[in-house]
Structure 1
């Protein structure tokens, strides 16, 4: 038995916007990173030390940068889940249930 066995007669749904958005994510990630890192880089370039001056501003833009990265990562995971769910169905290995004891259905045990 192979690793991925396609379900016979499974329906594969056509993609809509998920591939278009997934292809745009690297560009959005780069532009957002540049946008939020530009004030930090400017401060470092002008003053040479980020912690001595404008600590609150540096912390704010680092927080915005990490929040933006988290958003892009969550969006990427969501798009990948949609792409996987629209693909063909797969069959898992069968799990055969053990034989049932029909007498337990008639007279359930007392606990």
Structure 2
């Protein structure tokens, strides 16, 4: 059984920015994950001469901000990946589904 019937005369479109973006997404995701992690690590290493209670509060705030930035970044990257995938599929060949008779018609049956 052939699940996909290619529409006669359909053609693929030229690949565009979506493929360039899909190829760069892993590196962009890695860099966008490491930058907030480095920020949180820097908050742990450099206390700035603050008292212990202030350092603990600053470290906790840095951790919360880093986690929020990473989650937001991953969400944006996942959304971009879905969008690029949709564009790739839409630029591909056209397929036709099996025909089925419509029960509800705009005109009376013959």
Q: What interval of TM-score do these two structures reach, taking the shorter chain for normalisation?
A: 0.7 to 0.9
1:74 to 71, 79, 85: 79
Query: What residue number does 2:16 align with?
Result: 16
Q: Which blocks of at least 5 consecutive residues in structure 2 are unaligned? A: 47-54
Cα root mean square deviation, aligned: 2.5
1:1-111 alignment to 2 at 5 Å?
1-43=1-43, 53=56, 54-98=59-103, 102=108
Structure 1 distance, partners of 2:104, 2:26, is: 53
Across the two proteins, how many residue pairs are aligned to each other?
99
**Deviation (angstroms), 1:45:** 7.0
Please tell me whether the aligned partners of residues 43 and 62 of structure 2 are also in contact (alpha carbons under 8 angstroms). no
**Deviation (angstroms), 1:98:** 2.9
Structure 2 distance, partners of 1:25, 1:70, is: 12
Structure 1 distance, partners of 2:79, 2:38, is: 23
**Deviation (angstroms), 1:57:** 1.8
The TM-score, its normalising length taken from structure 2, stands at: 0.76
**Deviation (angstroms), 1:37:** 1.4
**Deviation (angstroms), 1:55:** 1.6
Structure 1, residues 42-62: CA drift from partner, whole Å, max 9, x if none? Answer: 45678xxxxx92222211111
Query: What residue number does 2:49 align with?
Result: none
Bigger relative contact order (CA 8 A; separation at least 6): 2
Check 1:35–1:97 CA distance in 2 against 1; reply closer, same or farther (3 A cut).
same
Structure 1, residues 5-42: CA drift from partner, whole Å, max 9, x if none? Answer: 11111132111111111101101111111111112344
